[in-house]
Each structure stands twice: as C-alpha cells, then as structure tokens.
Amino acid sequence: MSDRVLVITGGQGQLGRAVITAALARGLKVAAIDHSAVDPFDSQACLEIGGVDLTDAAAAKKAVDRAQVHFGRLDAVLNIAGGFVWQTVDDAEPAWDRMYRLNLVTALNTSRAALPHLKASAEGRIVNVGAAGALKSGMGMGAYAASKSAVHRLTESLAEETKSSSVTVNAVLPSILDTPENRKDMPDADPATWVRVEDLAEVMLFLASPASRAMTGALVPVTGRV
C-alpha cells in the first residue's frame, strides 16, 4: 500500500466515487469529504467525512485537518465537489451566486485549508475540476460556465503561487460525463461519445501522482468524442 494520502471532495457523487474506487485499487489512502453522509467504502484505507459544508472556510479546514490527523499526512487534494444548473440569464431565481459557491468557493476553501499540509509533502498535488463548456459559454450555461471559468483562473493563479514549493496545481476540463442523470436529461444523445467517469478518474489520479511533477497550471481537456 502506498503512503500517499488523497483528500477527495464530492465523494458521494458519480465522479467522486469513481475516483475513490480507483485510488483505493491503487493502494492509496483516501479521505472522502461530502456535504451529505458518505456511503462507506469497504476499506480501512478510506476515511469518510460527511456533513461538511465546504463553502464554509472553517468547516473545510476542520475536515481537512481531521484527514491529516487521521493519516498523519496529506499529499493531494482532488476538488470534485460542485454543481450544475442550466438556466437563462432572465430566470426569476438566478443561480449565479449558488454556482459560484458550489464550484469555486468549495475548491478555494479546501485548497487553502490543505496547502500547509501539501507543502510538507515531497510531491504535493491539487487537481481541480473545470469544464470544457467554460471555455466558450452557450445558451443557459452562463452561471455554470462563469463559475468554472473562475476555477480555471484559481488553478492558474495557485500554480504560479506554489512554483517555489513541492505543490503542483492542475485542472481537468471534461465535456459531458456519462452519468445516469445526464442520460436521463439527454435521452436523444449518444452517451458513447461522452466521458466515462472511470476514464476521467484515471486522468485525475495521474495529475495527483508524482509522475505529473512536470505539469502545473495546466487546463487539461478530457472531452471524449463530443
């Protein structure tokens, strides 16, 4: 079993669980953090931390510190927690602030809380989840795309700020993930062209590994055949 410890937010979602499953299969140790209760993984190498509001900086720090105390170290943070909404700008209940908090603030708070621990690692890593759809927005995508574009800028800025340390900061930019929710919402689309969560997990775990040490500040497209 590897000594490396990963903090994975959004551990209850489809992508979060795929990343956790793949990490545990590699012998990595994982702290799975989520706003809801995390269904337990059958592994002593996984610490489930549920009921955490990562939009609250103090709550994020408490969860990250708990993971560090439990395992004795932290080596990587994978910021998967987030949300999506499709709505036009003239919607009666704008979701711009909600998207900003779910997608940017969660990643910012978790990264800030983890940085002191990651800098103590010989190979510290932060991997964010941006979006290919944030490179050029479309109808109904404004709130989501704006928040994910902010994640891209956070990734680039933090990568520059950590260049003198062991920490690298990168982001994946997926297109459409092949999840039950997306299949339900887009019944006429061809999911064979989408990105499997297991495949995105592989890319994220590479970026979280020592092998990615030459990369920082990268926004990596993972778009399948879309």
Q: What is the pLDDT of residues 79-98, one digit of tens each?
A: 999 999 999 999 999 999 99
- Asked whether the beta carbons of 20 and 8 are under 8 A apart, the reply is yes
pLDDT level of residue 42 (50, 70, 90 thresholds):
confident
Q: Per-residue b/e over 158-182, b at no fewer than 16 CB within 10 Å? A: bbeebeeebbbbbbbbbbbbbbeee
State phi, psi for 128 to the nearest 5 degrees: -100, 160
Q: What pLDDT does 96 receive? A: 98
Query: Would you state the structure tokens that stand for residue 53, as one six-digit string?
Result: 């509001």
Q: What is the CATH number of the domain that holds 36?
A: 3.40.50.720
> Beta strand 125-129 with 195-196: parallel, antiparallel or unpaired?
unpaired
The predicted structure's pLDDT at residue 2: 82
Q: Quick check: 113 pLDDT over 90?
A: yes
Q: pTM for this one?
A: 0.97
Q: For the residues 120-130, what does the mean pLDDT come to? A: 98
Number of domains in the chain: 1
Q: What is the pLDDT of residues 128-159, one digit of tens each?
A: 999 999 999 999 999 999 999 999 999 999 99
Q: What range defines the domain where residue 42 resides? A: 5-222
- Neighbour order of strands in the sheet with 5-9: 46-49, 29-33, 5-9, 76-79, 125-129, 168-174, 219-222
Residue 58: burial class (beta carbons within 10 Å; 0-12, 13-18, 19+): exposed
